[in-house]
Structure 1
Amino acid sequence: MIVTHIGGPTVLVELGGWRLLTDPTFDPAEGHYRFGWGTSSNKLAGPAVAAADLAPIDAVLLTHDHHGDNLDAAGRALLPSAGAVLTTVSGARRLGLSHARGLTAGSRSLLEAPGKPSIEVTATPARHGPPLSRTIVGDVVGFMLRCNGRVLWITGDTVLHRGLKAVAGRLQVDVAIVHMGGVRFPITGPVRYTLTARRAVDLLTVVRPRVVVPVHYEGWSHFKDGRVAAERAIENAPEEVRRSVRWLPIGEPAHIE
């Protein structure tokens, strides 16, 4: 498996001959993005790899389509050329693409192509904020991929909640791509909308993947738990969690066995 962290939540995964892209964000830095209900953020860093340099993309794994830090204008322009787009049910409807597939937590979809091993994709639960916030922040999913006996999990933007804990306790994961950052906005005070470093450690203590790749902790002004906070929390984690975390140099392909 080759994993390239392009920036933010955007990751290229090369697996079994497949080229899979998560949450495409390719706009340049310095943009201001509104997320609704008085929340917004500034983009502080552009992508380490241009979208034009990634073709072809066999499938896009889009955790949600309605926030600019997970799908921006340049990322949206890439979607029609991808072989498939897997996202939420509401997102697939909004995108209006014939090759977009909408998934809910627990539902499955199969990626198939001549000469490549099939990939079974299962949507995993995600809640992008505090209890009862779904009607405001919208639907989000994570993705669990099975291919050639290996399991890759992409958490998506989520906090640690009961539904996620229940699923996490049953997962057997080789590689986990974990969205961190501890998103917070001035208008909602201390409320968090993604995993803080401490909550990410709590989740990893349950799941215990062999390799953990942190993403979505940099490049935006609304991240309040950056790499320094994450490293501090991981230093105090169980040894198995500490040994599993792998910080990828942004823009550089990394082989993960």
Structure 2
Amino acid sequence: MAARKRTANRYYSGPQSDHFDGALFFNPGGKPPGRFSDLLRWQFSGGRAKWPAAVPSPHPQVKPVPRVDGGALRLTMVGHASLLIQTAGLNILTDPVWSERASPFVFAGPRRVNAPGIAFADLPPIDLVLVSHNHYDHLDLATLRRLKNSHDARVITPLGNDAIIHRAVPGMRLSAHDWGDRIDAGAAAIHVEPAHHWSARGGRDRRMALWAGFVVETAGGNIYFAGDTGFHDGINYRLMAKKHGGFRLAILPIGAYEPRWFMAPQHQNPEEAVLGMKLCNAAHAAGCHWGTFHLTDEPVEEPAQKLAEALEAHGLPPERFRAMRPGEVWDIPPILTRNPNR
């Protein structure tokens, strides 16, 4: 039998590793994304809950302070996986999406059901942007273009995503990194860490760019942004605890998880997020990736409800892990000296 022709990677060329086979990235010991036939089975299953056309946040849009200095740590939810982290004099955005739709089209695709928690014009000066992977609800080229023009922000992203961004946003300050890389960023260091996910912008570029989470290391405590991830038996959470010791704050996805037979490898559910918080030794956690874009089957409020149930089941107080809503501001308490999850 003739050898199968290897797919050419349009975004990245580099040496093989434990998560790159020379052409495509993969999850070591994990699961690949579902097949097209699985996608069709899900789409035609009829299990999707209906969302309201609008789900206004109980929090008004907020105008953040210009800077938060020293060991103070302030978190503001924009929506979905977009959050503003302010600490050590730095302003950091995660997976910024201000567009109306998480889609390659302006006329179709998932539409936001609530406004961004911060109006774009009210953003403080943005120093760093962490882009976890290239799905449209995380890598929004229109927003990155605005951030370049208004803030000249520096983007840190996993391998291959730089090709996508540079093509659409020439001149953007940008660096692309592998899992395990460390980047100095003023009063902080950024660590690029594994996540269990996948990537694609279309039907012919699956797994050609890497996906990742990030650890922001500061004198006031470590911050873990897990990106978009499946639970993966807690392997990456245990790795984070072993490597970084623990976290003052973990920003963890809690939504887009149903149906489990299709979504489990790529999106953890609220119960798994609570387990992840405990495994990575996080004093506090913020739930994201829910309530803004209707991506999967669960009702819009279910992630917050399931998170509350999981916290109660694990004997954890609700103030330790918030399901963040757009416009919500949280001043994170200083980290405890003991392990809060034991």
Shared fold per TM-score greater than 0.5: yes
CA distance in 1, matches of 2:159, 2:89: 27
Moved over 4 A (4+): none
Alignment partner of 1:196 out of 263, 266, 269? 269
Offset at residue 191 of structure 1 (A): 3.0
Offset at residue 205 of structure 1 (A): 2.2
Give the 5 Å matches for 1:78-227.
78-80=146-148, 81-96=151-166, 97-112=171-186, 118-128=187-197, 136=206, 138-161=209-232, 163-170=235-242, 171=244, 172-184=246-258, 190-192=262-264, 193-223=266-296, 224=298, 226-227=303-304
Q: SS at 1:210's partner residue?
A: strand
Alignment partner of 1:254 out of 302, 327, 330? 330
Determine which structure has more spread, i.e. the larger CA radius of gyration. 2
Write the deviation string for residues 148-167 of structure 1: whole angstroms up to 9, x where unpaired: 24111101000112641441
Q: Percent identity?
A: 22
CA distance in 1, matches of 2:126, 2:112: 24
Offset at residue 251 of structure 1 (A): 0.9
1:103–1:151 distance in 2 versus 1, CA, 3 Å? same
The residue identity in structure 2 corresponding to 1:218 is G
CA distance in 2, matches of 1:189, 1:55: 41
Write the deviation string for residues 201-222 of structure 1: whole angstroms up to 9, x where unpaired: 2212212311111111211111
- Tell me if structure 2 keeps the 8 A contact 1:27–1:46: no
- Tell me if structure 2 keeps the 8 A contact 1:155–1:176: yes
Q: Which has the higher strand share?
A: 1
Q: TM-score, normalised by structure 1?
A: 0.81
Q: SS at 1:157's partner residue?
A: coil
Q: TM-score, normalised by structure 2?
A: 0.63
Alignment partner of 2:139 out of 65, 71, 74? 71
Offset at residue 104 of structure 1 (A): 1.6
Q: SS at 1:190's partner residue?
A: helix
Write the deviation string for residues 102-121 of structure 1: whole angstroms up to 9, x where unpaired: 12211110102xxxxx2111
CA distance in 1, matches of 2:142, 2:312: 37
The residue identity in structure 2 corresponding to 1:14 is Q
1:2 is the counterpart of 2:71: no
Q: SS at 2:196's partner residue?
A: coil
CA distance in 2, matches of 1:74, 1:98: 13
Write the deviation string for residues 124-160 of structure 1: whole angstroms up to 9, x where unpaired: 111226xxxxx83552111111112411110100011
CA distance in 1, matches of 2:221, 2:128: 18
The residue identity in structure 2 corresponding to 1:57 is I
Write the deviation string for residues 68-126 of structure 1: whole angstroms up to 9, x where unpaired: 211325422234234310111111222125521112211110102xxxxx211111111
Alignment partner of 1:234 out of 299, 311, 316? 311
1:226–1:74 distance in 2 versus 1, CA, 3 Å? farther
Point out where structure 2 has 5 or more consecutive residues left out of the alignment: 1-72, 199-204, 334-342
Q: SS at 2:229's partner residue?
A: coil
1:255–1:32 distance in 2 versus 1, CA, 3 Å? closer
- Tell me if structure 2 keeps the 8 A contact 1:60–1:79: no
Write the deviation string for residues 28-86 of structure 1: whole angstroms up to 9, x where unpaired: 3xx36269xxxx6443333121222104101101112x222113254222342343101
- Tell me if structure 2 keeps the 8 A contact 1:59–1:83: yes
Q: What is the alpha-carbon root mean square deviation over aligned residues?
A: 2.6
Write the deviation string for residues 205-256 of structure 1: whole angstroms up to 9, x where unpaired: 21231111111121111143521222222221243x7552134452133211
Question: Could you tell me which residue of structure 2 aligns to residue 50 of structure 1?
Answer: 119
